Amino acid sequence: MTDTEKPTRGRPRTMDEAAVLDVAVSAYQRADPADVSVNAICQMASISKPSLYRAFGNEDGLTLASLDRYAERVLGDLFAILQRNQALDPTLDALIDFALNDQRLETGCLFYKMRAGKHRLGPKTRQRVEEIDAAAVHAFETYLKGQQDAGAWASDQPTALIARYLMEQIGLALTQRATQEDLAGIRSSLTLALSVIRKA
């Protein structure tokens, strides 16, 4: 070691934040996110609590970052179905297939789980849940209005109401899937629930 070199103190920062978020998302999906402790995440990710706090600030920062990562990867694919601007029937069919066949949703949807228990989450995560919820309703409503404006679909009900209904039916199917209910039965129920939109 030369006179100008100084020994490194402490542990080097080698934590892979993306890998930690993958662990956190997986853990939050398997249980109620508010019941998953920081200690549990640290143990599963083989990192120290100080390292986690340096990266994410606090538990609220971790749940927020996890939700953002999940939204980008999973919810982004759902919104992409709407952005194709296909006709109503193939779009609804694609949404049903996505909800029931995507392996990332096998244990449910992290967004819906966090929304259901948002009162137990930190303020920043709660705010993001509300923002994503509003964005999702807007995405569904924009798609439905596009179909309406093109003369391909009509309804005497407000598109915002139908958009919310569509979201909730998909959420119910994902909740049923997480509890290992029969997929064929879930598909039949969801198809029936969405038939009122097809006939609107």
Taking the whole predicted model, whether its pTM rises above 0.95 is answered as no
Say how far apart CA 38 and CA 47 lie, in whole Å: 11
pLDDT in tens, the chain (200 residues): 444 444 445 554 568 999 999 999 999 999 999 999 999 999 999 999 999 999 999 999 999 999 999 999 999 999 999 999 899 999 999 999 999 999 999 998 999 999 999 999 999 999 999 999 999 999 999 999 999 998 889 899 999 999 999 999 999 999 999 999 999 999 999 999 999 998 76
Task: Give me the amino acid identity at 73.
Answer: R
Domains for the chain: give ranges and CATH numbers.
67-198 (1.10.357.10)
Nearest-Å Rg of the Cα atoms of the chain is: 21
DSSP 78-146: HHHHHHT---HHHHHHHHHHHHHH-GGGTT--HHHHHHHTGGGS-HHHHHHHHHHHHHHHHHHHHHHHH
